[in-house]
Structure 1
């Protein structure tokens, strides 16, 4: 297949320092390209675009159901992406063709594969994706977008039914990779990584994942149609683009919830990590991060040294949403209850003008200054009170934020 750049869209924080709080939806027409974890579906004027950049997710309250099938009462699960037929069948009406079948994953295909469930505490939601065990003591590889915004993560070894709490060791959002550590895990079965050259065009491969967040591992067989592919992912909130390159392209019925799961070759070895898939067409084209590239990032994370793209652990968290820049500082659009910002007395409409004596003139500047700190650090904030116009100042201890 000829190499071509593909544009996808990824959900992102809507101006929230240190956390994903608001959910951005994009409406449009025709066939979409999406990161293949969970899905959000926005419908405008009869046209539908599915954003599968987050795992299978559901919301309640103001964000939940906005564009969902049960949106009238503000609750309910946002609909999923391209449907998948029952195991062992194909379903043309559900977005697959007769050449793209799925089956329940075999015992051999399930070895080392886990399901990942997260709590999105600051957006009132939850998510589900897939991961793979790298070490017997519980290092798990998944996609960054599977855990983005998470305030709590649990991982289940589906072959045994054991569930573990998980923490984030590190992430690389630009490469869509995250490394987790399972608490008190030992003696786990691990996946087998490919050791003989990776995937080539024409190879038979199988994606194994937590299809539609159902908690049952499903296998989607297909064929490699391209290697070293590139696609550009743009955030739905601000349009900033990120490019994923070196991807494996394959034809298989990948759906929401499969993200972070292994793509196996005909020897049962992992050649890639499912990360994206087309939606809205009659045939699904999927994409995987090459396992060699992912392992290189894992090794960087394990070194404990941050880079321009690698974040070790959790970000520091202030707990404010940011509005349109005024030119005089970072405008506070909202404050999350129970966060350091709330304790300091910040309220909507205030304008943050300094951090530790360094002037702040924009939201970007505030984000950069706070991004240089770790959870537990104390900073001195200066702001202009929205009601009185007076200058306020307070020492604030930054909290542990959700996965950035």
Structure 2
């Protein structure tokens, strides 16, 4: 019996097929090899007006003291992007190409091409750049499903931080649905993927990958200072839809109510109500508290007041402003959206019709 087992064992070893070379590398290297050909560097140039020479703000004292100073200077910028189609569409951040007079795209194989910005959406910080017609040999990235993510999943960031091309960093998905307003950005509407994979200046617009090498997000910002090590990416499911609209020249419409909101919890409400100087009593439950109603907005027309607590929208519970914003973002302009509101001890149902988001108004 021992002899037979030895023969079988030896035969098993002899019949093993040699592993391909790439199998010697880990899953990160394999994921990078799959997507790296789609990652590009984006170099930009823009004209910037010097202080004191902005249109309508020219300072005659500067002319008198310093003579004919140049009214502007050229400013260079750099970021990353990812090819999402074989016909030359590159997805990147709006802040990478915003105001650029020239956009140069360097492909993974070293080719440098002039790109044209075909559409931008500042509210989601997304932009689409098109490469020249007829560009051959383009290898678009495979796009994943950001709805399948869970905290603890692998996250691989690709890009060109600090001009260091083809940089790879590894981490995990630290959190999901991180509202960008909690990071101090009130002019954006985004729920971000948080990761501890290192993201640095120049990574913006590059892809965040899962362990299979599929794009699950677009790197967009990093928390500097005491919060160092926190990076954030735009979920690819959102970016995919916005990119499709931008590529076809269709304006990206964001529904808007005209509310400024703050989160309210039952404990916060109790603390507020126990103050003898409180001007009004708040409902002691979670919700989105109306801090301000913008004049002439859909919210004003629907009759919302400061101090109202929104607890549901479109039959979905609202525990925080992010919940309401998610419902509003998924609603249709002009179609009635039912809000359930607590005003003191009174419960109200208020139908509201979202309008297109005006410029520089991304809340509510």
Counterpart position of 1:191 = 141
Structure with greater strand percent:
1
Q: Deviations over 1:196-241 (max 9, x none)?
A: 8432111011110111123x11011011111111022999xxxx83
TM-score by length of 1: 0.47
Shift in alpha-carbon separation, 1:116–1:124, aligned structure 2, 3 A = same
1:232 counterpart SS class? helix
Structure 2 segments unaligned to the other structure (5+ residues): 1-27, 49-72, 256-364
Counterpart position of 2:278 = none
The answer to which of 263-272 and 121-130 deviates more is: 121-130
1:118 aligns with 2:67: no
Q: Output the CA distance in 1 between the equivalents of 2:146 and 2:201.
A: 30
Q: Output the CA distance in 1 between the equivalents of 2:227 and 2:239.
A: 30
Q: Output the CA distance in 1 between the equivalents of 2:141 and 2:115.
A: 18
1:243 counterpart SS class? coil
Asked which structure has the greater CA Rg, the reply is 2
Counterpart position of 2:249 = 304
Q: Output the CA distance in 2 between the equivalents of 1:275 and 1:285.
A: 11
Counterpart of 2:111 (choices 141, 157, 162) is: 162
Counterpart of 1:150 (choices 70, 75, 100) is: 100
Q: Output the CA distance in 1 between the equivalents of 2:254 and 2:120.
A: 8
Q: Deviations over 1:33-62 (max 9, x none)?
A: xxxxxxxxxxxxxxxxxxxxxxxxxxxxxx
1:286 counterpart SS class? strand
Counterpart of 1:232 (choices 156, 181, 191) is: 181
Counterpart position of 1:212 = 162
Q: Output the CA distance in 1 between the equivalents of 2:117 and 2:182.
A: 23
Shift in alpha-carbon separation, 1:126–1:234, aligned structure 2, 3 A = farther
Cα offset, 1:156, TM superposition: 0.7
Counterpart position of 2:34 = 108
Q: Output the CA distance in 2 between the equivalents of 1:125 and 1:309.
A: 31
Q: Output the CA distance in 1 between the equivalents of 2:136 and 2:244.
A: 20
Structure with greater helix percent:
2
1:223 aligns with 2:167: no
Q: Output the CA distance in 1 between the equivalents of 2:224 and 2:121.
A: 25
Contact 1:233 1:242 in 2 (8 A): no
1:253 aligns with 2:202: no
Counterpart position of 1:176 = 125
1:115 counterpart SS class? strand
Cα offset, 1:307, TM superposition: 4.2
Structure 1 segments unaligned to the other structure (5+ residues): 1-101, 311-404
Shift in alpha-carbon separation, 1:243–1:304, aligned structure 2, 3 A = closer
Cα offset, 1:164, TM superposition: 0.9
1:110 counterpart SS class? helix
1:286 aligns with 2:231: yes
The aligned runs of 1:371-386 (5 Å cut-off) are none
Cα offset, 1:183, TM superposition: 1.1
The answer to which of 181-190 and 299-308 deviates more is: 299-308
Q: Deviations over 1:295-332 (max 9, x none)?
A: 1101211332224569xxxxxxxxxxxxxxxxxxxxxx
TM-score by length of 2: 0.52
Q: RMSD in angstroms over aligned alpha carbons?
A: 2.6
Cα offset, 1:186, TM superposition: 2.7
Contact 1:143 1:178 in 2 (8 A): yes
Shift in alpha-carbon separation, 1:220–1:153, aligned structure 2, 3 A = same
Q: Output the CA distance in 1 between the equivalents of 2:254 and 2:132.
A: 26
Counterpart position of 2:214 = 269
Shift in alpha-carbon separation, 1:166–1:136, aligned structure 2, 3 A = same
Q: Deviations over 1:111-135 (max 9, x none)?
A: 2110000011334110110000011
Q: Output the CA distance in 1 between the equivalents of 2:248 and 2:32.
A: 35
The answer to which of 180-189 and 135-144 deviates more is: 180-189
Contact 1:209 1:219 in 2 (8 A): yes
Shift in alpha-carbon separation, 1:309–1:201, aligned structure 2, 3 A = same
Cα offset, 1:150, TM superposition: 0.4
Number of residue pairs matched by the alignment: 202
